[in-house]
Amino acid sequence: MHVGYGSGFQHLAGYSDAQFMREELGNCERAESQGFDSVWVTEHHFDSYSLSPDVCQLLSYLAGKTKRVKLGSMVIVVPWHDPMRLAEQIVLLDHYSGGRMILGVGRGLARREFEGLRIDQNEGRQRFNEYTELVLKALETGFMEGGETVKQPRREIRPRPIKSFKGRSFAAAASRDSVPVVARLGLGLLVILQKAWDQVRADFELYHKSWRESQGPNVEPTKPFCSGFCFVDESADRAEELARKYLALNYREALDHYEMFGKHFDTTKSYERYSDLSKYLNSIGADKAVDDYIKLMPWGTPQQVLEKYAGMKELIDMQGIMPNFFFGGMPHEESVRNINCFVKHCLPELKSWPAATLTEPAELAAV
């Protein structure tokens, strides 16, 4: 199984951004030397939840610092970008890295990010569908043209794309409404651990049904990748105490960042699913929500973590994982210990598990 290093660049510890960036960039750079298969970063803006506002720029830096690892976006929030510029950035990153990018896209959720980027969140769904289709097509053809709202005049992507993105393109679908869209676009699913497993299973059933309808019965869907937050320690007691502490801080920050207890989802077009989720969270309260979230995550002794991943593999048959190790305001030294413990005790075993392998991207015809 593919095992990547994920980072949300979450900085809750209060010291300088400069120091934190050095620390987590260092962790990302070292992932290659430690045997990870890939490095994945998120896109978020404006607060401590994530200091990662430009995925392609960050992955371009890592492309220059690494030779082997794949470089994943989990995710580029497509509605926040001009599709033409985005296609150019993705292609440029693929040139810098020799075709090592794994593309992950998403729709975005946080009101503060849409507002701060001066984009109407009510347009989020429409923008995601339209822009993602334009970008994916451009990555294969080398030009972009059309779009219902952007009306992009035909322009070439230069430098031209070197390798196909088919088989290495994914999308997060936190909202069930997004699942058929992702299947129709021919994308694999990026599972971001946050839902109860019965809901995830139902999403996959919908995904496979939608895939067969849109892609045909003879085309196998791309196996998913699964993100999450991992805390591993050889001491079960220490693992539990600190996993609970840092995962709770991580999730409370997420609840705040996404304003999950707010009522704004009621009046935001195509975010009605989140309105239901918000009502549910309000009904159970933050403490219960945090507790449920912690239960989803892989933490514990190395054996416990492996058992948790085995359970996930059984449920969703992912081709790879990319856990975060530095989150919730933990000291940098703790993140290093966490990574090292995982590398030493979990990584070889996880890599040995049979799984679908990432499609090696096909060379595109040179023009």
Partner 1 sequence: MAGGNFDGARGTCRGVVMLTRFSALPAALLLSTVLGCQKNENSDDCAQMLSERIHVGIPQGDVEQFLNNCGFTHSIDPRTNTIYALKRGDHGGLVGQDWNAQVDLDAKQKVTSIKVEKVFTGP
The site for partner 1 (CB under 8 A) is made up of 22, 25-26, 29-30, 33-35, 65, 336, 340, 343-344, 347-348, 351-352
Q: Which is nearer to partner 1, 29 or 334 (CB)?
A: 29
Q: Taking the complex as a whole, how short is the minimal distance between the CB of residue 34 and partner 1, in angstroms?
A: 5
Q: Which is nearer to partner 1, 267 or 357 (CB)?
A: 357
Q: Which is nearer to partner 1, 29 or 292 (CB)?
A: 29
- DSSP 3-state of 347: helix
- DSSP 3-state of 39: strand
Residue 203 CA: distances (Å) to CA of 13, 172, 178, 190: 35, 11, 10, 12
Q: Taking the complex as a whole, how short is the minimal distance between the CB of residue 229 and partner 1, in angstroms?
A: 20
* Other beta carbons within 10 Å of 181: 20
Q: Which is nearer to partner 1, 149 or 340 (CB)?
A: 340
Q: Which is nearer to partner 1, 218 or 352 (CB)?
A: 352
Q: Which is nearer to partner 1, 21 or 206 (CB)?
A: 21
Q: Taking the complex as a whole, how short is the minimal distance between the CB of residue 347 and partner 1, in angstroms?
A: 5
Check: CB of residue 161 under 8 Å from CB of residue 139.
yes
Q: Taking the complex as a whole, how short is the minimal distance between the CB of residue 66 and partner 1, in angstroms?
A: 10
Q: Which is nearer to partner 1, 25 or 364 (CB)?
A: 25
Check: CB of residue 134 under 8 Å from CB of residue 155.
no
Q: Taking the complex as a whole, how short is the minimal distance between the CB of residue 307 and partner 1, in angstroms?
A: 19
Cα 262 from chain centroid (whole Å)? 24
DSSP state of 3: E
User: What does the alpha-carbon distance between residue 35 and residue 32 come to, in Å, rounded to a whole number?
Assistant: 5
Structure tokens at 312: 């996930």
Q: Taking the complex as a whole, how short is the minimal distance between the CB of residue 267 and partner 1, in angstroms?
A: 44
Structure tokens at 81: 């970008």
Q: Taking the complex as a whole, how short is the minimal distance between the CB of residue 1 and partner 1, in angstroms?
A: 9
What's the Rg (C-alpha) of the chain?
20
Q: Taking the complex as a whole, how short is the minimal distance between the CB of residue 358 and partner 1, in angstroms?
A: 12
Count helices and strands (H / E) in the chain. Answer: 13, 13
Residue 83 CA: distances (Å) to CA of 4, 122, 361: 27, 18, 22
Check: CB of residue 61 under 8 Å from CB of residue 38.
no
Q: Are strands 143-146 and 152-156 parallel, antiparallel or unpaired?
A: antiparallel
Q: Which is nearer to partner 1, 241 or 317 (CB)?
A: 317
